[in-house]
Amino acid sequence: MPSHSFTLNGKPVTVEAPADMPLLWVLRDLLHVTGPKYGCGVGVCRACTSHLDGEEIQPCVVEVKECAGREVTTIEGLAEGDTLHPVQRAWMDCDVSQCGFCQPGQIMAAAALLKRTAQPTDADIDRIENVCRCGTYARIREAINKAASEITP
């Protein structure tokens, strides 16, 4: 079985897995990283949203071979040590979570948005297509705007 080496949340990892294995299964089943959630398996619900070299991806549709030598960041790696990312803090401050299942993916999508767009409009935020069955979209928008105000000087 081939080996695949990449950086996961700031630490080098090597796994043995079929080259076409979805990254989500590598993360959850082989590396025991459970933040990215399995929802649909086809990149639509976006519960698994993570970052690859700082860009938003859905690891349920990214093959592990595509990660060789690259940086994978999951919700577990978003904070810097004990300091939460501004989006994580805003999520707590705005009481966004209900069931919490989709929240890691929502937070990772929001962090990617704020990296691309310092002051997102409501339309920018609405383009985040992560599905939330609890319907906390108004609080999600509030949290993203709060985080944006903390990130932008």
Q: What is the pLDDT of residues 53-105, one digit of tens each?
A: 999 999 999 999 999 999 999 999 999 999 999 999 999 999 998 888 899 99
Is 129 in contact with 123 (CB distance < 8 Å)?
Answer: no
Residues 73 and 9 in one domain: yes
User: Per-residue confidence at 1, pLDDT binned at 50, 70, 90?
Assistant: confident
Looking at the structure, do residues 117 and 141 belong to the same domain, yes or no?
yes
H or E segment and range at residue 114: helix 103-116
Q: How far is CA 63 from CA 25, 80, 104, 133, in A?
A: 10, 27, 20, 27
Same domain, 113 and 71: no
Round to whole Å and give the CA distance between 58 and 106. Answer: 12
For the chain, the domain total comes to: 2
Boundary-marking domain end, from 18, 42, 77: 77
Reported confidence tier of residue 122, pLDDT bands at 50, 70, 90: very high
Residue 42 belongs to domain with CATH number: 3.10.20.30
Q: Do both 33 and 96 map to the same domain?
A: no
In the prediction, which pLDDT does 142 show? 94
Q: How far is CA 14 from CA 20, 33, 47, 68, in A?
A: 15, 14, 24, 9
68 and 92 inside one domain? no
